[in-house]
């Protein structure tokens, strides 16, 4: 049975990923900042590990817990919205959580994904990271962090093009979560159902692509 690793799975989209993959019989390895409080995640049957994207030491503990286990699909989902007004420290935290942490995750767990059958890595991106599509401004920290995430993972895809790995940055849509708000366009089940279909269809020819949850290519 295939294995999926999902970061930031205690709520929202990460939790929906865990529910759907577990329901389909996958082995789900999931992370939460406080595993003891992740009751909904535990109810999925997922194997839960502590991981905080803002803690530079947390990845070492996660890597030690996983060992040399093969990971078919790595989903770098953990992230934060960041400040709405300019704040140097919180802007730095946004980049740490949304860019540096998922990129280090990919670098450190590359051997685990290479050891699997599917060999896929996916980062939760956003249309707000598209410079071409930005016609409304605002949300400076979050927008710039997702643009940087896209750039970093696109570079990894190029660097690893002969490895057999497939990397993609996928926008989940505007979803009804704590971050998206109740007025968002789609519910988590719809978003993640589509997202998983896109992941299932990914091949090495798609590596480095920026897509939405329906598989459409997005402008950088």
pLDDT of residue 74: 98
Instruction: With beta carbons less than 8 A apart as the criterion, state whether 133 and 127 touch.
Output: yes
pLDDT of residue 109: 98
Reduced to 3 states, what is the DSSP secondary structure of residue 26? coil
pLDDT of residue 54: 92
Residue 173 Cα distances to 24, 50, 93, 94, 182, angstroms = 23, 27, 24, 20, 14
pLDDT in tens, 85-107: 999 999 999 999 999 999 999 99
120 has which bridge partners? 73, 166
pLDDT of residue 178: 59
**What's the pTM?**
0.95
Give the N- to C-terminal CA distance of the chain in Å, as an integer: 35
174 or 148, higher pLDDT: 148
Fold of 3-212: Rossmann fold (3.40.50)
Report phi then psi at 157, rounded to 5: -60, -40
Q: What is the DSSP string of 54-102?
A: T-TTHHHHHHHHHTT---SEEEE-------SS--HHHHHHHHIIIIIHH
Q: Give the pLDDT band (50/70/90) at residue 189.
A: confident
pLDDT in tens, 51-66: 999 998 999 999 999 9
pLDDT of residue 181: 57
Rounded Cα distance between 29 and 21, Å, is 10
**Beta strands across the sheet bearing 3-6:** 47-50, 27-32, 3-6, 73-76, 120-124, 166-171, 209-212
Averaged pLDDT score across all residues of the chain: 94
Give the percent of the chain with pLDDT over 70. Answer: 95
Residues sharing a CB contact under 8 Å with residue 114, sequence separation 6 or more, in sequence order: 163, 164, 165
Rounded Cα distance between 76 and 73, Å, is 10
Reduced to 3 states, what is the DSSP secondary structure of residue 15? helix
pLDDT of residue 187: 83
Report phi then psi at 71, rounded to 5: -120, 115
């Amino acid at each position: 049975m295939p294995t999926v690793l999902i970061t930031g799975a205690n709520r929202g989209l990460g939790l929906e990923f865990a529910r759907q993959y577990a329901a389909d019989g996958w082995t789900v390895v999931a992370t939460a900042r406080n595993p003891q409080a992740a009751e909904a995640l535990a109810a999925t049957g997922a194997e839960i590990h502590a991981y905080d994207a803002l803690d530079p030491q947390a990845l070492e503990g996660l890597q030690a817990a996983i060992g040399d286990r093969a990971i078919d699909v790595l989903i770098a989902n953990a992230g934060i919205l960041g400040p709405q007004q300019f704040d140097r420290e919180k802007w730095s935290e946004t980049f740490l959580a949304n860019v540096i942490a998922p990129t280090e995750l990919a670098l450190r767990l590359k051997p685990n994904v290479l050891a699997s059958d599917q060999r896929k890595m996916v980062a939760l991106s956003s249309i707000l990271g598209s410079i071409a599509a930005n016609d409304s401004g605002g949300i400076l920290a979050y927008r710039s962090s997702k643009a940087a995430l896209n750039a970093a993972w696109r570079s990894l895809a190029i660097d690893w093009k002969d490895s057999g790995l497939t990397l993609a940055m996928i926008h989940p849509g505007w979803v009804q979560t704590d971050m998206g708000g109740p007025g968002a366009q789609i519910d988590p089940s719809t978003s993640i159902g589509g997202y998983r279909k896109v992941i299932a269809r990914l091949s090495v020819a798609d590596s480095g692509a920026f897509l939405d949850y329906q598989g459409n290519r997005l402008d950088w």
